[in-house]
Structure 1
Amino acid sequence: MDSIRSLQYFVRAVELGSLSAVAREHGTTQPTVSKVVAALEDSLGVRLLERSTSSLSPTVQGQRFYERSKGVLEDYAEAVADARGETQTASGLLRVNAPVALGQFRLNALVQEFLAQYPGMEIELILNDRMVDLVEEGVDVALRLGSELPPNAIARKIGSSPRWLVASPGYLKSHPKLRQPDDLAAHEVIRFAWLSTGGTVELHNGERSVQVQTHGRYRVNNALAIRESLAMGGGIGLCPAWLVQDLLASRKLTRALPAWQGATQDLNLLYPSRRHQPLRARLFMDFLQARFASVSGEQ
């Protein structure tokens, strides 16, 4: 039995959820893939995959074996590259997850730059605002905003962004003037839904910090919707600079209470294992760290 090929088929079966998909990817037939995986199970004496007419998923033992097998394949690929003198040649598929707004406004362009630099690479970029399970969903690198991370996360901070109060000029002109943080209580504050702090806004001016209880009739779980609502004159929002820098530059938004700002927003890279980081993942993370020395939007 070709052990490396068996592991390759098994790992991709877990990731793709289909033996037929593995066969198409490797240019072979579904019965061949099924036979190889079945032989792997026989040699281990353990059922690795649960099969039905419509789905395929790993067993408990299969999930554990998948996590170890993926690391073995990555080590093998690097050993082959090293033997060939190709240690710094990144190749293969990298699965990346990031928040929607960050992906659209920053990461998408950086991915294109990275791909141009490494022609042998492929990147699958999945944008959503939920905290994904890296191992379960086969994600190699995730970008997360804020300091609230999973307790078992392996994280690397790569940047931070100031957060500013912003609103459209039209909104500020037609509503009570803002002179101090307490004046926010008389305004419509648009914020992210489900914030643990609720409507409490904490601001500082370099000398002191204040907390203001705000009110807003609109809350939404998407940063792009908040950005658009602010530009439409829906209210005031406390936003990271990277999200609204272009609207500030075009004067569609303006800063309110410019002497005050919120706590900075951290940007972290998350990855599933300290030990098994393939070259392509390490190079991508180092690339992002260099580009995201600051995500303030002022680069």
Structure 2
Amino acid sequence: MDTLRLMHLFTRAVDLGSLSAVAREAGSTQPTVSKAINALEAHLGVRLLERSTTGLLATAEGLRFHERARRLLDEYEDALADVRGHARQAEGLLRVNAPVALGQFHLNALAREFLALHPDIEIELILNDRFVDLVGDSVDVAVRLGGPLPPDAVARTIAASPRALVAAPSYLAQHARIERPDDLGRYEFIRFAWLPAGDEIELHRGAESMTVTTRGRYRVNNALAIRDSLLAGAGVGLCPHWLVHDLVQAGQLVRVLPAWSGTPQQVALVYPSRRYQPARARLFMDFLAQRIGALPGLTAAIDR
């Protein structure tokens, strides 16, 4: 039994969600691929895939095996390249997770640029504002914006974005002038939901720091919704520059208490805490480390 071949067909079936697609890719037929995966299931003594008229769905055992099989196949290919004395051409599927706003504004374009440089790599970019299970969701690289990091992961900080208090001119025109940080408690404050600090924000002016308790009736777990709400004149917000720099430049939002700023938002690449990372993941992380810090509203980390 060619176990490595069977493992490859199975991992591609999970990646593509179709036995027919795997057959086309392998230059084979759908019945042949199905027979091969059946043989692998018989060898392992577990069902890996649930088949239906609408497609394929990996079982719980299949998901666990898929993660480890992908890693084993990547290590095998790199070992072959090493013993032959040449670098392996990066290839295969790369699963990337990122926040919605950063993905829409920047990562979507960067992913396409990366694909143009590496024609044998595929990217599945999943955008959401929740912390995913890197291993359970088979994520190779996740982009994190501040906040606590998963305990079962390795993080690489690549950039930071200053944070400033901003509001629409229309909102400020309807309220008394904000002269000091303590005044913020009298204004509607729009913030991200589920923040560990709740309504408290930390502001800095040079070496001076202070914590302010804000007040707001609207909290939302999406940065784009915060941006739109501030633009509509719903209140004041503390936002990273990458999210609002264009609106500030256009005068659609203005700085509030410009001498004060929030703690910079760190941008980190997070990946599962395992010894081996496939070549495609290493390439993509190096690419993002070079590019993200040069984007508007972001600065490269001093120590990557």
1:207: Cα distance to partner? Answer: 2.2
1:42: Cα distance to partner? Answer: 3.0
Where do 5+ consecutive residues of structure 1 fail to align?
none
Aligned residue in 2 for 1:58: 59
Label 1:158 to 1:88 Cα distance change in 2 as closer, same or farther (>3 A): farther
Q: Which digits, 9 at most, give the CA deviation of each residue in 1:56-95, with x for residues without a partner?
A: 32344x4443332111111223244456766264333322
1:141 corresponds to 2:141 = yes
C-alpha contact (below 8 Å) 2:163/2:261 kept by paired residues: yes
Q: Distance in 2 between matches of 1:121 and 1:86?
A: 19
Aligned residue in 2 for 1:49: 48
Provide TM-score, normalisation by structure 1. Answer: 0.89
Label 1:298 to 1:12 Cα distance change in 2 as closer, same or farther (>3 A): closer
Kindly report the root-mean-square deviation, in angstroms, between the aligned alpha carbons of the 2 structures: 2.4
Q: Distance in 2 between matches of 1:125 and 1:56?
A: 19
C-alpha contact (below 8 Å) 2:230/2:236 kept by paired residues: yes
1:186 aligned partner, one-letter code: R
Aligned residue in 2 for 1:230: 230
C-alpha contact (below 8 Å) 1:182/1:212 kept by paired residues: yes
1:280: Cα distance to partner? Answer: 1.2
2:48 aligned partner, one-letter code: L
Aligned residue in 1 for 2:193: 193
C-alpha contact (below 8 Å) 2:161/2:298 kept by paired residues: no
Label 1:132 to 1:222 Cα distance change in 2 as closer, same or farther (>3 A): same
C-alpha contact (below 8 Å) 1:201/1:214 kept by paired residues: yes
C-alpha contact (below 8 Å) 2:166/2:238 kept by paired residues: yes
How many residue pairs were aligned? 297
Instruction: Give the secondary-structure state (helix, strand or coil) at the position aligned to 1:56.
Output: strand
Label 1:85 to 1:252 Cα distance change in 2 as closer, same or farther (>3 A): farther
1:151 aligned partner, one-letter code: P
Label 1:206 to 1:48 Cα distance change in 2 as closer, same or farther (>3 A): farther
1:11 aligned partner, one-letter code: T
Aligned residue in 1 for 2:173: 173
Instruction: Give the secondary-structure state (helix, strand or coil) at the position aligned to 2:293.
Output: coil
C-alpha contact (below 8 Å) 1:162/1:296 kept by paired residues: no
Instruction: Give the secondary-structure state (helix, strand or coil) at the position aligned to 1:292.
Output: helix
1:122: Cα distance to partner? Answer: 2.6
1:20: Cα distance to partner? Answer: 4.7
Q: Which digits, 9 at most, give the CA deviation of each residue in 1:1-44, with x for residues without a partner?
A: 22221011222334455545544543433332222122223334
Label 1:131 to 1:137 Cα distance change in 2 as closer, same or farther (>3 A): same
Provide TM-score, normalisation by structure 2. Answer: 0.88
2:50 aligned partner, one-letter code: R
1:290: Cα distance to partner? Answer: 1.5
Label 1:118 to 1:22 Cα distance change in 2 as closer, same or farther (>3 A): closer
Label 1:205 to 1:218 Cα distance change in 2 as closer, same or farther (>3 A): same
1:252: Cα distance to partner? Answer: 0.8
Label 1:241 to 1:216 Cα distance change in 2 as closer, same or farther (>3 A): same
Where do 5+ consecutive residues of structure 2 fail to align?
300-304
Aligned residue in 2 for 1:39: 39
Aligned residue in 2 for 1:109: 109
Q: Distance in 2 between matches of 1:116 and 1:20?
A: 26
Aligned residue in 1 for 2:302: none
Q: Distance in 2 between matches of 1:273 and 1:30?
A: 36
C-alpha contact (below 8 Å) 1:161/1:294 kept by paired residues: no
Q: Distance in 1 between matches of 2:114 and 2:86?
A: 18
Aligned residue in 2 for 1:211: 211
Q: Distance in 2 between matches of 1:118 and 1:53?
A: 34
Label 1:137 to 1:23 Cα distance change in 2 as closer, same or farther (>3 A): farther
Aligned residue in 1 for 2:93: 93
Q: Which digits, 9 at most, give the CA deviation of each residue in 1:177-229, with x for residues without a partner?
A: 01100010111111112222222222121222222221112211110011011
Q: Which digits, 9 at most, give the CA deviation of each residue in 1:105-157, with x for residues without a partner?
A: 22122223322332333322121111112222222211111131112122111
